[in-house]
Amino acid sequence: MKLSTQTLQNFRVQKYDTKFKWTDHPYKLMFISGTKVSPIETIPDMPLCGFKFKKITEIKSGNFREDLLVDVIGVVHELGSPHTTMGGKLKFAFTIKDLSANVIDCCLWDSLAAHFIDYLKIRTDS
pTM: 0.57
Contacts of 120 (CB under 8 A, 6+ apart): 79
- In this prediction, residue 95 carries a pLDDT of 93
What would the pLDDT profile of 22-49 be if each residue is shown by its tens digit? Answer: 777 888 888 998 888 887 766 666 666 6
| 3 state SS of 113 | helix
Comparing 47 with 110, the larger pLDDT belongs to 110
How many angstroms separate the Cα of 101 from the Cα of each of 18, 62, 98, 126?
33, 18, 5, 19
From the list 26, 71, 27, the residue with the least C-alpha distance to 50 is 71
